[in-house]
Amino acid sequence: MNKFLSEWTVGLLVSTLAYASLFYLNVWLTAHLSYGLGVNWIYLPAGLRLFLTLIFGFPGALGITLASFVISYLGEFAQELTTCLGIGLISGFTPYLARFFVLSNLNISSDLSNLSLPKLIICILIYSALSAGLHQWWFAVRGLDEAGSFNHFLVMFIGDVLGTVALIGLVKYGLDLLKLSKPA
């Protein structure tokens, strides 16, 4: 029980802090690539959302939900509690839903040991479509700006795909550098 609680807490904390940190780094790096409220042409945290939920499962989804709620509440959504709660839930549980769908339908083991590039690409596309669709639906329901349009969905989908691919590429490159720097 103690080990489970400890792993659960680590997953929650790592996910919360990592997501919030990368969100603000992404805002700084890609400020000129923003398409509209909550919509970016490149969104690196999308890749982190997927990664954290694939690794940590439910605690990862909950950590992302908490971070996204706080970011929304303190940021662009003017402390509208219902809007921010929906954004947090969609941000955290859409990748978890994609994880569930992919693990149960693409024959990927829960420890991800047989995750291949084609399966990862399918996972990225499913997650990006779900995320963009649910976010834009929520934005339309809440009456936010011009959000909820097909153009916003398309840009968010592209931004999530590009951000996920870029983040995975950076992680892979970093791991390759670590392998090269270790003495034989």
**Dihedral through CA 35, CA 138, CA 52, CA 126, nearest 10?**
-80
Q: Is the dihedral of CA 116, 109, 49, 7 positive or negative?
A: negative
pLDDT at 6: 85
Q: Residue 107: count other Cβ atoms within 10 Å of its Cβ.
A: 9
Interatomic CA distance for residues 50 and 156, integer angstroms? 15
Which residue has better confidence, 17 or 176?
Answer: 17
DSSP class of 153: H
Instruction: Choose between 179 and 90: higher pLDDT.
Output: 90
101-133 confidence digits (pLDDT tens)? 887 888 777 777 777 888 888 889 999 999 999
What value does the mean pLDDT of the chain take? Answer: 88
pLDDT value of residue 164: 92
| pLDDT tens digits along 17-60 | 999 999 999 999 988 888 877 788 999 999 999 889 988 999 99
For 57, phi then psi, to 5°, come to 65, -130
- Specify which residues 167 forms β-bridges with: none
Cα(69)–Cα(71) distance, integer angstroms: 6
What is the Cα–Cα distance from 52 to 125, expressed in whole angstroms?
A: 16
Which three-class secondary structure state does DSSP give residue 57? coil
Judged against a pLDDT cut of 90, whether residue 64 lies above it is answered with: yes
Q: Are 181 and 161 in contact (CB under 8 A)?
A: no
Give the pTM. Answer: 0.88
Most confident residue range from 34-43, 66-75, 105-114, 167-176: 66-75
- The better pLDDT of the pair 74, 178 is held by 74
Residue 173 has pLDDT above 90, yes or no: no
| pLDDT exceeds cutoff 70 at 146 | no
Question: For residue 86, what pLDDT is reported?
Answer: 95
